[in-house]
A and B are shown apart, each in its own frame.
Chain A
Amino acid sequence: MIDLVWFQLLSAVLFVIGLYGVMARRSAVLIVMSIELMLNAVNINLIAAASHMEGTGRFSNFDGQLIAIFIITVAAAEVGLALAIILRIFRNRSTINVDEINLMKW
């Protein structure tokens, strides 16, 4: 069977790809997508740990899965708010490139 470490490595790679996307992309929509990738990497990690640790006495009742449910909830709220903010910025400045939105840059 597949060991826990392989799921952790998959989640690490996914997280790093999301991190690169956040740092390298210019469009705010693409940055939001990259954040989703990072949240998914964290979820894989939590759920893999939850399934592999059940019965070892360190965690109980698949707590990791429940935390993952809350992460998905917060991700849904985050995407809704991000869409609102992106629309607002687009209406005011007619761009969503993050390096052109420098109004609050000191």
Chain B
Amino acid sequence: MAWFVFISLAVLTIGGALGVVVTRNVVHAALALLVSLIAVAGVYLVLFAEFLALVQVLIYGGAIIIVLLFAIMLTRGSDYPRITDNKQWPLAALAALAFLGVLAPSFIINSVEGTQAQNASFTGIGESLFTTWAVPFEIASLVLLVALIGAIIIARSDDEEEEG
């Protein structure tokens, strides 16, 4: 049963990812990315990481896809129906496959003896986040603040800049 769920989720993840890099339509690419990200949330559930699955659906499925769709909508130029691949795509495919050829055998050769997948309790994660990882947590909030202020300043229109 676990294998069946894992294989269907893996097929959905990889199929969605291939859709992102292959399709000619940018909106279809965003929707394929959504399929892939939700399937990744399912993979987290197979790994008993319920909190991460929840965060994945909320942040990726909710926020990031919407932001990407906004980016597509606001930059809809005349160039979208055109071919969206570089001329060097065969070289890119070759390099990517070569990288997979290094990565996959190294995972198989160096396979570590692990236990069965185990459940992480919500309270354990919260406790760890606010004790061991308290400083990175605060820095992460600062990073978000700085990034969003920077995004607003970069995306401001020229008229507003003259007034300010």
Seen from chain A, the residues whose Cβ lies within 8 Å of a Cβ on chain B are: 1-10, 12-21, 23-27, 29-30, 32-34, 36-37, 40, 43-44, 47-56, 61-63, 65-66, 68-70, 72-88, 90-91, 94-97, 99
Contact = CB atoms under 8 A, between A and B. Distances in A.
Contacts of B125: 61-62, 65-66
Interface of B: 2-3, 6, 10, 13-14, 17-18, 20-21, 26, 29-30, 33, 36-37, 40, 43-44, 46-49, 51-52, 55-56, 59-60, 63-64, 67-68, 70-72, 74-75, 77, 79-80, 84-86, 88-89, 91-93, 95-97, 99-100, 103-104, 107-108, 111-120, 124-125, 127-129, 132-133, 136, 140, 143-144, 147-148, 150-152, 154-155, 157
A32 to B, nearest CB: 7
Given A50-B49, A65-B49, A87-B71, A17 B96 contact: yes
Q: Is the interface of B mostly helix, strand, loop or mixed?
A: helix
B116 A94 contact: no
Nearest to B140: A73
A24 B71 contact: no
Contacts of A90: 74-75, 77
A94 B80 CA distance: 12
Contact of A30 (B63, B84, B112, B116): B84
